[in-house]
Structure 1
Amino acid sequence: MFNSLDVFKNSKDISGIAGVGIDLLSVDRVRTLYQRYDDHFLAKMLGENELYFFHKRLNANYERGIRFLASRIASKEAFSKAIDTGIRYPITWKSIQIINSNEGKPRIILSYDLNVWYRSIYGNSHVSISDDIHMVIAIVVTERKR
């Protein structure tokens, strides 16, 4: 007979996953905040590299730019959930950037100070983002430090 406690008792020993975070965000909500607070909102939420790509997408297609902004906010929130801190010390919105690789895969880039803290506890992190006209979703998985 299976003892379910035995299965879960040692699950931390076999799993490489330290945390999982997910966030679902309304594109309309982000559009409203951007239209109301404009550059002040962007300065609080996006890092320098993200700002560059946001403006590039916004100029090419306004709605695509707004979805980009929403996806970055959702990804940062999901990351903060995966490491059990929320958006509070040591995390700020700008200390995390989500930048796509040349192949298009989103990557989590941490500020120097946040990276030092993060690497003392965790291993790699992975993000997946999906969006449609009305909603974006982001999932972040963090690995245990080896």
Structure 2
Amino acid sequence: MIYGIGTDLCDIRRIRDTLSRRGERFAEKVLGPGELAVFRARRARSEARGVSYLATRFSAKEAFSKAIGLGMRWPMTWRACEILNAPGGKPQVVLHGELAEWFAGRNLRANVSVSDETDQAVTFVVVETTT
């Protein structure tokens, strides 16, 4: 049964501008440890790839927060929710700490889809009950 659906559209240029103004501190605020490692590796190869990665993760967390009905309030925090790729490349939601406990306590499962083009990143999240 569907618990919630969330979507978010993100302007990559806005993320690029914020990253330029605030430096890597912005990425450190938004990304969890696993995501931050991927961001740094992609950015080292190509600035544009790093920025696109940050934008898709920002968008995914916004969409996830909408799907669970909390928005960006406790226990939902930027770093407690990571969007990491499975070995085959499929994005998956990985939760930490109190958010993970909150989510598991409700027997929920999340499905996420991310996509990006030159100036836009879009994400859809469907959260389902598992019982």
TM-score, with structure 1 as normaliser: 0.87
Amino acid at match of 1:35: S
Which position in structure 1 is the counterpart of 2:44?
A: 59
Cα distance, 1:96 vs structure 2 = 0.3
Consecutive aligned runs of 4 or more in structure 1 exceeding 4 Å deviation: none
Cα distance, 1:129 vs structure 2 = 0.3
- Aligned pair count? 131
Task: Say which SS state the counterpart of residue 25 (structure 1) adopts.
Answer: strand
Task: Say which SS state the counterpart of residue 23 (structure 2) adopts.
Answer: helix
Which position in structure 1 is the counterpart of 2:127?
A: 142
Cα distance, 1:43 vs structure 2 = 1.7
Amino acid at match of 1:52: A
TM-score, with structure 2 as normaliser: 0.97
Q: Does 1:68 align with 2:89?
A: no
Counterpart mapping for 1:1-146 below 5 A: 16-146=1-131
Gaps of 5+ in 1: 1-15
Task: Say which SS state the counterpart of residue 93 (structure 1) adopts.
Answer: coil
Does the 8 A contact of 1:122 with 1:142 survive in 2? Answer: no
User: Matches of 1:44 and 1:119 in 2, distance apart?
Assistant: 24
Task: Say which SS state the counterpart of residue 10 (structure 2) adopts.
Answer: strand
Gaps of 5+ in 2: none
